[in-house]
Structure 1
Amino acid sequence: MVGVVAYGSVSSIKALWETRIKKSKEEEQKRTARGGAPGRLSVGAWEDRAILARLKQKLQTEDGRLILRIEQEEWKALPGCLVQLSQVQEWQIHRTGLQKIPHFIPNFQNLLVLDLSRNSITEIPKQIGELTRLKELLLSYNRIQRVPEELGGCESLERLELSMNWDLSELPDQFRNLTRLQHLDLSLNCFSVPTRLHRCTAGTCVA
C-alpha cells in the first residue's frame, strides 16, 4: 500500500482525517444494516450458539425416547433457540426456578411427556392445546393460578398432575374433552373438585 503524505496546515490535515473517519463509520453502519460482515456473527448469535450447545449436553436417550433433562440449575426462562431441538419427546425440568412454559411450545409436536414439576410456573399458556400427541402433563409443586380451556385440545392426554398449586381455584369445563385421561392428581389444592371430575373412567382420580 502506497503511503499518503498530507501537506498543508494543521487544521486542513485534521479536517481531512475527520472526513476519512466519518466515511469509515458510515461504511461500517451500512455493513451492519446489511447484516454484518460475511462470516461474522453478532454477539446475540454467539450467545444463542453457546446456550444451544449447553442444552444439547442435557439430552439423553432412554428406551428409544429423546429426553431433555435439567435439574437443580437456574433456568427462569427457556431460550428461543430451544426450538432447534424440536425432535425432543420428553422434557424433565425440575427445581430450576422456571417461571413460564414458553409460548413456542407448539413447535414440539413430538412431545409425549412434559414434566415441569417443582418449579415456579404461574400459568399454562393456551398454546398447550396444540400438543395433540402429549400423553403426560406433570405440573405439581408450582404456582399455577389458572388452567386454560385450550388444555382440552390435548386429546391424547392420559396423565395430568396439578397437585400443590395453592393459587389454583377452578378448572375449565373443557376438561370433559380429555376422554383418554387415566390419572388425574389435584391433591393439596384449595378448591372443590367438580362432580364430573370424580368420574374418572377406568383410571385414578386423586382430589
Structure 2
Amino acid sequence: MTRTLDLLRSGQLAGATSLKIAGGLTEFPREIFDLADTLEVLDLSGNQLSSLPDDLPRLRKLRILFCSDNPFTALPDVLGQCEQLSMVGFKANRIRTVSGQSLPRALRWLILTDNEIETLPAEIGACTQLQKLMLAGNRLQRLPAELADCTRLELIRLAANRLTELPAWLMQLPRLAWLAYAGNPFDTPLESAALDDTSIHAIPWHALQLQETLGEGASGVIYRALYRSAEGHAAQPVAVKLFKGAVTSDGLPHCEMAACIGAGRHASLIGVLGRVQDHPAQTEGLVMALIDPRFTNLAGPPSLNSCTRDIYAADARFEPAAALGIAHDIASAASHLHAHGIMHGDLYAHNILHDGEGHALLGDFGAASFYGLDDTVLASLLQRVEVRAFGCLLEELIERTEQQESAADVMGTLEKLRNACLMDQIDQRPAFGEIVRTLSGVMTQPDH
C-alpha cells in the first residue's frame, strides 16, 4: 500500500488508467485525484474503508470500482453521481442499506454478494443497462417489482437469501439466461432431500489418499486421489472435492453438493462416486470420477469488459461435426438435469470441458438450484431461461466454426436452433428435449 501511495505522490503513476491499493486504508487517499483525467479502474478492496469522498465524481473517467472486503454499512450515495461508472463491486462488506441515489444510471454489473441487505430500492428499475446482478448471501425477502424494467438483465444471483418465492415477472425478462436461487426458504426442502439421499455411497476418509491439487474455486479444492474400496483391492484414481464453508458469488457450497448428488448419472456429467465420510475436520466432500486429461476448458470466464460473455482463445476454431457434438452433449446433459428438477444456473463455455472431437462434459454446479417437477408452469419457465443460456453457447460455437459446404445442413440446424433459443418471448423457446431430438437427427444423417 505504502509503495503505491509513494508512487502516486511522486508522480510516477501519472496517466495511469488502473489503480489498486490494498492493506489498511482507513480513508480514501486524496492523491488518487491526481489521476482524475485518466483513471478508469479503481480497486480499493481489502481495506478498512467505510465511506467515499463526496467529490468522487471528479474521477470523470471512472468505469469500474471495487471496494470488496471493507466495513461499509451502506452503498455510498456518491456512486450515483459518477456518470461513467458501469461496474460496482462491494462484496463481503457489512452493507445493510442500498439507497436509490447510490445506483449509477450507466450500471451494467453490480456485485453486492455476502452483505446484510434486506431490501433493494425501486430506483434499480432505472438502471436499464444492467446485465449482471450479484446478490447471493444477503437477507432479501423480496425483489422490487421495478427490477422488471431492467430488460437487459442476463445474469442474477439470488442464492442464500430469505426469498419465499421467485416472482413470476423474473422469468419473463427477455434476456435472462443465468439464474441461481438455491439456499432460500422455498428451495431448502428439495436441497435437503438430495443431501439425505441414502443411495449415495459413503466413502470413508481413511480409504482416500490425497495427492496433488487439481484446481481450486470459490466453493472448494479439488485433489487427485487414490481410493481403495476394500482391503486387498487395487487403488482407483479419483478426484476429491473438499468444500469450503463460506458463501460464494453463486451461493452456498452445501447447495452445490446437493445438486451434484441429485443430478444422478449421465454421460456428459462428471460422475459422483460417493460422499466423503468421517473427515477429521468434518469437512464435506465428494468423490468423483477422474476426468481424462484430453478434456480441456472450452473457454475462459467473462472479462470485466465482456461482462456476460466468455473469452475464447484467439485461435479457437471448431469443425462443424465437433461443434454439433458439443451442442448435442450439453443439451442432453441439461435435459437430464431438468428431468431431475435441477437448473444448472451457469451453463457457460467456461464450465464445459471438451476433447476437441465433439465430446463434452458439463461441470461446476456452484449455481445449481432445485425446483419441484409438480409445478409444471415454473418448471417450464426455468428450463426455458436456461435454454437461452444454451442459445448463447450456440452463438459462440457458430462464430468459431469453420464454414464447409459439405456441412451446410449442420450449420443451418445450429443457426435455426440458436435463433429459437434466443427468442425474447420465453414461451417461444424450445425445451431441451426438443433440442436434443433435433441435434440427434442431424448426427444420424450420413456423413455426420
TM-score class normalised by the smaller sequence: 0.5 to 0.7
Runs of 5+ consecutive residues of structure 2 not aligned to the other structure: 159-448
What does 1:1-207 correspond to in 2, within 5 Å?
53-55=6-8, 66-71=17-22, 73-86=23-36, 87-152=38-103, 154-166=104-116, 168-194=117-143, 196=145, 197=147, 201-202=151-152, 203-207=154-158
- TM-fit CA distance, 1:53: 3.2
**1:193 partner amino acid:** R
- TM-fit CA distance, 1:121: 1.4
Q: What are the superposed Cα offsets for residues 14-67 of structure 1, whole Å, 9 maximum, x if unpaired?
A: xxxxxxxxxxxxxxxxxxxxxxxxxxxxxxxxxxxx99534468x879xx9711
User: Are the counterparts in 1 of residues 115 and 138 from structure 2 also a CA contact under 8 Å?
Assistant: yes
User: Are the counterparts in 2 of residues 60 and 67 from structure 1 also a CA contact under 8 Å?
Assistant: no
SS in 1 for 2:120: coil
Distance 1:198 1:186, change over 3 A: farther
Q: How far apart are the structure 2 equivalents of 1:188 and 1:99?
A: 20
Q: How far apart are the structure 2 equivalents of 1:60 and 1:84?
A: 9
Q: How far apart are the structure 1 equivalents of 2:80 and 2:60?
A: 11
Distance 1:60 1:180, change over 3 A: farther
- TM-fit CA distance, 1:102: 2.4
- TM-fit CA distance, 1:171: 1.2
SS in 2 for 1:174: helix
SS in 2 for 1:84: helix
Q: What are the superposed Cα offsets for residues 67-121 of structure 1, whole Å, 9 maximum, x if unpaired?
A: 11112x1101113343222131111122112222222211111000011111111
How large is the RMSD of aligned CA atoms in angstroms?
Answer: 2.9
SS in 2 for 1:128: helix
Q: How far apart are the structure 1 equivalents of 2:86 and 2:102?
A: 12
Which range moved further: 109-118 or 186-195? 186-195
Runs of 5+ consecutive residues of structure 1 not aligned to the other structure: 1-49
SS in 2 for 1:83: helix
Distance 1:199 1:176, change over 3 A: closer
2:232 aligned partner: none
User: Are the counterparts in 2 of residues 68 and 92 from structure 1 also a CA contact under 8 Å?
Assistant: yes
User: Are the counterparts in 2 of residues 160 and 184 from structure 1 also a CA contact under 8 Å?
Assistant: yes
1:21 aligned partner: none
Q: How far apart are the structure 1 equivalents of 2:83 and 2:64?
A: 12
SS in 2 for 1:191: coil
**1:189 partner amino acid:** N
User: Are the counterparts in 1 of residues 41 and 65 from structure 2 also a CA contact under 8 Å?
Assistant: yes
In the superposition, the TM-score normalised over structure 1's length comes to 0.64
How many residues matched? Answer: 153
SS in 1 for 2:17: strand
Distance 1:88 1:169, change over 3 A: same
**2:66 partner amino acid:** D
User: Are the counterparts in 2 of residues 151 and 174 from structure 1 also a CA contact under 8 Å?
Assistant: no
SS in 2 for 1:82: helix
